[in-house]
Structure 1
């Protein structure tokens, strides 16, 4: 069913299209029109409007045909099969702000460890857009009383498609490891860097995508979107507003739509559905969670006077499979000990290269590797390719960064010595303390200066926290269920009601210890230091490589 506004466009949006076509001289003719009905525009109407010559009228009609009506396109995906995507989604995919995701690895440096992990944010984002549409359409079909309309569906699909636009080089490495350690300039940019996350950039990149492509606003309007409401709605789904802050895009009775792309309530969302299936496929790891089954049983119910997406009571085991899959992927791939140390080394290289990388942004202004987050034109040019730009550079200023990256390529990364299972929640002061104790933990009693010469600078200690998605809490506690007998009444299910074979602890923190010196003598000495480390650091035992 078409939207009630299908085939309509504002005068301002039409003016942006005219500018793209070099027909700005007709701006005033269209700007004074509050609504333009595209299906009614023809050569005769344009002639009556005073648009002459014929060549201009033909260009205007041709430009309209570029955006409306347009056919859906089918994408063949190894995970979801044949996906039919809306013309607006196809238009967004073809834009440079989205195409850059082809050059950002989905698993960051995971490709250095798993040779199959060559997939990118590009195909993941398309998959999320597809699944977002599948879930919201399923809810609409099962529950017509929710009043989900075509505008809602298209907005949810766009949010799914664009949720990762803001990722930087090597995905989470950039916002979680590099930016927090980068030198901050004074003023507003420095303050922005202090709390910046890739979701912030996704919002900004989406704005940049809409503003820099003259056809897109008109195309969105032609397919029924109300830009004054729907652009806010899309960005709110990409980055959810702070708790207790009211949504601007949709009223309270449609708050469940905010749980489809990024579900902060219990972590069950289509983003995870896609990356679990896609990452497992490329890593060669079995995925036990069936997202298709979840979509079949998803239902919107009233919970504490709010509408939330709930699932059937018999789906407890399937959800524990989801949460366990998350933990397993973190343990075996995302936080693999070699992945983490290569991330650390790339971060070191980026920090040394930061001020020596120059990226041209809007108005010709130049930005560094870290300050590019302030300008989306510059940030659009920032992808994993910066690794090879540094690696293949010849400038003396990039020598130290280049040497680190060359060591990674030559597989001369810092060597894993072992890991310690932490007893509780680590504090920020514990890693420096652990490095001090590593240097002091002599392999055997000696007097005076350490014969091996190792200091705390010769060790790297990285923490890795892995859980089921809700920290130390049982994630099932945040899920609401309904029964076949009473589908409108929700209730909680405890872990024991699902199975007696489920875990009782849902989070653990590991300290990974690495030696920076890679000659055999230094490595043997470093292992000796590690073996003698005070057992107070370990929960039960020390795991060696």
Structure 2
């Protein structure tokens, strides 16, 4: 993609042509005879003196005039250079807030090294999206353009803009499944572009309305309304045609789960947790090709058939990462405490935020993103520092975290026999425990939780959803034929564990939980037999 970065040798005519390409009025620059050297020194106040007083219009000019690539030194991927559009997105308040959202939420309280944020992860995903795109372009130059690669990188950079405090905790507690963080990410992307005057810069690099649609579709794929049936030839995307369907598999792969988002967080999370990452994403990129389905216009990112073992290594890495860190029983107990604290603070206005968490949720639903931009993990400290008496209970819980007076996991048992445990089953077990205790236990002083750890697709083997190519036919996408499956694979691809946490004190001997649990387990198994 052509570069449109001003340098000091540019003439006034070249500067004006650049502004014209971006759709900006250049009369004041012509009259002032501003050349490249002068343009690079311009600041907000200089443009204001020139008569460009509107804040957003001022930003539009500066974004176009001072667009430059930038080199980032990343601890995982080394020195990486990012496109000027990516740099300008990074330098916005909406993106900078990701500094203050920890990638692994409460894991920091168990693994002190897990202090990395969504900020560096997002930059890493943008980098890997570009690397995979360039690798595919080098092998098959006719199927992917530089503009495609830039769009994929922007989607990788912005895919986590919608995360709230402590990442997924905000989704579960405040949003309660009513809004997905991916949808909030595309709302934040639109808000970021408009609020920071990035449209002219995007136009400068030939990113049109269709490209912005494509970026948002990669972050949050469109879904049909309930009851709406798909036609045989339906293609749900507007940004790119079916022939370029493989592009939708780079950042967030809904088919097999193999995407650069996982590549980065496997490497990054393992690094900061002190765990070993056995998956080599660079090898995957070397063997990746774009192939076409037989008898269909759809294309997929395919891996050489012999590389199936590498895919199992990837999914096993995901499993162990979740088992040892993300779903660690102490970390999960801390997550419950943060949930309870935020729940207790839900209806109270918090510190500098000036809004309740419920009001922020309503703002999101009304596509008003200013308050969400201010909401980060710092809400923890805002609650602790507040003098508002209505936050007393929330403060008490958070102080317990700081003094390591944590909720205690007193019982943990794996659910056997492939039982599907739903929330109603958990509620039923909780009631059984209350009754068995003779009402010593109450709903407020203990918690029963279901923790599921899998390969990313529930009980399914995700490797079966991957597309492959063979050495003999490197251009045709084939499904798992069964021939390439190694013998040493798991019999099951998901496990469910039930845990009981005491919130205050050890009210009952943990051994006393076994009898009602076994009876509950037997009954659920019989119901599903």
- With structure 1 as the length reference, what TM-score do the two structures score? 0.81
Paired residue secondary structure (1:356): coil
Paired residue secondary structure (1:368): helix
Shift of 1:112: 1.0
Q: Distance in 1 between matches of 2:357 and 2:258?
A: 41
Q: Does 1:352 align with 2:333?
A: no
Paired residue secondary structure (2:50): helix
Indicate the residue corresponding to 2:404 in structure 1: 411
Q: Distance in 2 between matches of 1:63 and 1:466?
A: 46
Indicate the residue corresponding to 1:330 in structure 2: 322
Distance 1:92 1:359, change over 3 A: farther
Indicate the residue corresponding to 1:231 in structure 2: 212
Distance 1:532 1:160, change over 3 A: same
For structure 1, list consecutive stretches of 5 or more residues without a partner in the other structure: 16-25, 31-37, 46-52, 181-193, 443-448, 540-545
Shift of 1:308: 0.8
- Asked if the contact 1:355/1:369 (under 8 Å) is kept, the reply is no
Q: Distance in 2 between matches of 1:113 and 1:61?
A: 46
Paired residue secondary structure (1:518): coil
Q: Does 1:161 align with 2:157?
A: yes
Correspondent of 2:125 among 91, 107, 128? 128
Q: Distance in 2 between matches of 1:44 and 1:130?
A: 35
- Asked if the contact 2:174/2:358 (under 8 Å) is kept, the reply is no
Indicate the residue corresponding to 1:195 in structure 2: 178
Shift of 1:491: 2.5
After superposition, give the CA deviation of every residue in 1:342-392 in whole Å (9 maximum; x if it has no partner): 212211111111111258899x99973543434210100000000111122
Indicate the residue corresponding to 1:240 in structure 2: 221
Q: Distance in 2 between matches of 1:268 and 1:492?
A: 15
Q: Distance in 1 between matches of 2:251 and 2:413?
A: 36
5 Å-filtered alignment, 1:69-468, equals 70-146=67-143, 148-180=144-176, 195-214=178-197, 216-226=198-208, 228-242=209-223, 246-304=236-294, 305=296, 306-357=298-349, 368-374=359-365, 375-422=368-415, 423=417, 424-441=419-436, 453-468=440-455
Distance 1:133 1:394, change over 3 A: same
- Asked if the contact 1:102/1:121 (under 8 Å) is kept, the reply is yes
Distance 1:482 1:64, change over 3 A: same
Shift of 1:99: 0.2
- Asked if the contact 2:174/2:357 (under 8 Å) is kept, the reply is no
Q: Distance in 2 between matches of 1:398 and 1:175?
A: 21
Q: Distance in 2 between matches of 1:41 and 1:208?
A: 34
- Asked if the contact 1:8/1:221 (under 8 Å) is kept, the reply is no
Q: Distance in 2 between matches of 1:253 and 1:167?
A: 32
Shift of 1:43: 2.9
Q: Distance in 2 between matches of 1:125 and 1:135?
A: 15
Q: Distance in 2 between matches of 1:344 and 1:178?
A: 13
Shift of 1:69: 6.9
Q: Distance in 2 between matches of 1:123 and 1:79?
A: 10
- Asked if the contact 2:349/2:356 (under 8 Å) is kept, the reply is no
Distance 1:64 1:401, change over 3 A: closer
- Asked if the contact 1:73/1:85 (under 8 Å) is kept, the reply is yes
Distance 1:265 1:61, change over 3 A: closer
Q: Distance in 1 between matches of 2:426 and 2:50?
A: 68
Q: Distance in 1 between matches of 2:356 and 2:514?
A: 53
Q: Distance in 1 between matches of 2:483 and 2:329?
A: 33
Distance 1:476 1:271, change over 3 A: same
Distance 1:271 1:516, change over 3 A: same
Distance 1:359 1:161, change over 3 A: farther
C-alpha RMSD over aligned residues: 3.3
- Asked if the contact 1:515/1:526 (under 8 Å) is kept, the reply is no
Distance 1:516 1:510, change over 3 A: same
Paired residue secondary structure (2:299): strand
What is the number of residues matched between the two proteins? Answer: 483
For structure 2, list consecutive stretches of 5 or more residues without a partner in the other structure: 7-16, 36-46, 225-233, 523-529
Paired residue secondary structure (2:88): helix
Shift of 1:529: 2.3
Q: Distance in 2 between matches of 1:156 and 1:345?
A: 37
After superposition, give the CA deviation of every residue in 1:185-244 in whole Å (9 maximum; x if it has no partner): xxxxxxxxx620111110100000000012x11111112212x21111111111111265
Paired residue secondary structure (2:142): helix
Shift of 1:435: 1.3
5 Å-filtered alignment, 1:464-483, equals 464-483=451-470
Q: Distance in 2 between matches of 1:233 and 1:119?
A: 29
- Asked if the contact 1:298/1:310 (under 8 Å) is kept, the reply is yes
- Asked if the contact 1:178/1:347 (under 8 Å) is kept, the reply is no
